Amino acid sequence: MFIKSLSIISKNADVVLRKLEFRNGVNFIVDSEKSEKHNKVGKTTCLKLLDLSLGAKNKDAIFKDYETQSVNEQLRLFIENQKIYTDLVLIDDFNSPSKEVSIKTELFSRGKRYINGEKTSYDEVNKYLNKLLFGNSSQKPSFRSTVKSFVRILMTKDNTQFLKVLDNFSNISEYRAIYNYLFDISDPKNDLELGKLKQELKKIKSKEENYKKTNTVDDVVKIKQINVAIDKEIDRLEKEINDLVDKKAFEKNRVHINDIRKKYEEISRQLSKIDFDILQLQKYIKEAEEKSQRIVNQELANDFFQEISELLPSITKTFLDLVEFNSQLSRNKLSYFNDRMQELIREKENKENILTELTEKNSEFISLVEENKVDLYYDKLNQLDELKIKKVKNDSTITSLGNIEEQKQSIEKRLSELEMIVKNNEVEYQKKMDIFNSYFKSVAGRINKEQPVLLYNPKTDEFPVSIGQLSEGTSTGTRKSLIAAYDIAYQLFAREIKKVTPHFIIHDVLESIEGDDIRALVDEVENNPMQYISAILKEKLVSSGMSTEKQNEIIVLELSMKDRLFERGNIC
């Protein structure tokens, strides 16, 4: 398909502000201003309108400079107030047209897109254009990825980097898909799948690394070995627990056993207290008996009593009364101790009877309590639970890492298969390169006397193409004319291998190309069925040495400060 025309229309006024009629061959957009005014008349903006009509998304690129972030507010308001839209007409042949397509793009905010008058979503427009311009129904690669090799707007890469037509964040597989598609080397779907799988593999490996770091895991093999040791320890503990008690019976009667245990321990504690009290009482009784039997020197005591009596004449008791009183105290103390002893003995017998009854009624469980096996059971049970929890955690880690490993192996297997498929499909890539380079060297030789070659790299993890055999110290202008030579050569190559592609090239970097190179470029395009649409300085065109008649023939639009792109005489 060729570009027949581009109209700029005011929806509000229902007026065609400007209509560009394109031709087969060279189509230059020039200005008639002095150098300092070159960037203000709208040459590049015109090319941006073509790009928007061909699926570019950012409409604000018309009035916004992304490099400086400045906005042409007058132009923005003009587009909004006038409801400006473009109508791009594509045609299959200039001489005998059989198909014509209209692509309408509303430039104002919330503006829609239309194909042949029918409102169409942005994605559907690109799908339609992919089928129309490339015969690509699979949408792999996408239309916008592929068409960037034909629409070079704001091209800043002067050297062989011009081959990198995608955004900076694009990956190698996306580039391989584009060039394998354009040069008909292999199925681009395989390249895109390769790229997607490589990204997935990278994410999975990162996930694995983070999982190991978070869970302080080093090696699955080590964890499996640890689990073997844990299994052995679990078996040992379970055997010891089974030797202690009947686990099922214990668990079934856990509450009852705990109740017996509490009662048994309480009674045992009380008995221990009684035994202690009895021992203490026996000690007191013994001391009291020994004291009562102790021989007292009554003569000395009597003399002492008499001395006291003389000092205290109010004392009416005799010494014998005092002796009898002390004897009675000793007898009373012994009597109390003996009575208390009998109480303790009876209390002990009562507790022992209660304990005996408890033991007889719960004979099947009481041995656990008597031998303190309950505490031992719980201790071993806790150890067992801790080991089982650790094993479950290890099993979870093994499973998680195992799943990750399976995913890795599955992706790596598919990657290996795809790389083999791509490699087998690329066996004849040199034939395609030879065809292209025959045109590339010939066109470049006529334009700038260079003999470049396009080199194909079959390695799937490296950039697919590069330019070789350029002269050292090649100037910027020569390198830029090289881009033109490449694009023209591709048009000739595509025609030979019958590849469906656009028959147009939209380019905006010709301003530094030498005049002689421009004339040679024009000759190449004019002699072949293709369109070359580009912005260029009027003074550069004059320096090419072409006749005024030829210049007028290939100029499709001439702009000036008084005749800007959107409206003749308008300040926008």
Does 159 score more than 50 pLDDT? no
pLDDT in tens, 464-513: 999 987 665 555 556 678 899 999 999 999 999 999 999 999 988 566 67
pLDDT in tens, 9-38: 999 989 999 999 999 999 999 987 665 555
8 A C-beta contact, residue 19 and residue 5? yes
Higher pLDDT among residues 552 and 33, named by residue: 552
Tokens of 570: 């308008």
Query: 32-36, 203-207, 392-396: which has the highest mean pLDDT?
Result: 203-207
8 A C-beta contact, residue 282 and residue 275? no
Q: Which residues of 291-316 are buried (b: 16+ CB within 10 A; e: fewer)?
A: eeeeeeeeeeeeeebeeeeeeeeeee
pLDDT of residue 433: 93
pLDDT of residue 111: 94
pLDDT in tens, 88-137: 999 999 999 999 999 999 999 999 999 999 999 999 999 999 999 999 99
Does 357 score more than 90 pLDDT? no
pLDDT in tens, 64-87: 887 788 888 999 999 999 999 999
Q: What's the pLDDT band for 309 if we cut at 50, 70, 90? A: low
Q: What is the pTM of this model?
A: 0.68
In sequence order, what DSSP letters do the residues of 524-536 get, joined into one string?
Answer: HHHTSS-EEEEE-
8 A C-beta contact, residue 556 and residue 23? yes
Give the N- to C-terminal CA distance of the chain in Å, as an integer: 32
8 A C-beta contact, residue 323 and residue 298? yes
Residue ranges per domain, the chain?
Answer: 2-186+426-559, 253-371
Query: 197-201, 215-219, 439-443: which has the highest mean pLDDT?
Result: 439-443
Query: What integer is the mean pLDDT of 161-189?
Result: 88
Q: Which residues of 475-503 are buried (b: 16+ CB within 10 A; e: fewer)?
A: eebbbbbbbbbbbbbbbbbbeeeeeebbb
Q: Tell me, which fold does domain 2-186+426-559 have in CATH?
A: Rossmann fold (3.40.50)
pLDDT of residue 214: 82
Burial of 373 (0-12, 13-18, 19+ CB in 10 A): middle
Tokens of 8: 């700029």
Q: What's the pLDDT band for 377 if we cut at 50, 70, 90? A: low
pLDDT in tens, 414-441: 988 888 887 776 667 889 999 999 999 9
8 A C-beta contact, residue 17 and residue 567? yes
Q: Shortest CA distance to 181 belongs to which of 494, 427, 395, 529?
A: 494
Angle, vertex CA 288, rays to CA 285 and CA 292, nearest 5: 140
* Of the candidate ranges 273-282, 355-364, 449-458, the one whose mean pLDDT is the lowest: 355-364
Query: What integer is the mean pLDDT of 27-52?
Result: 79
Distances (CA, A) of 440 to 277, 341, 399, 427: 117, 125, 57, 22
8 A C-beta contact, residue 64 and residue 50? no
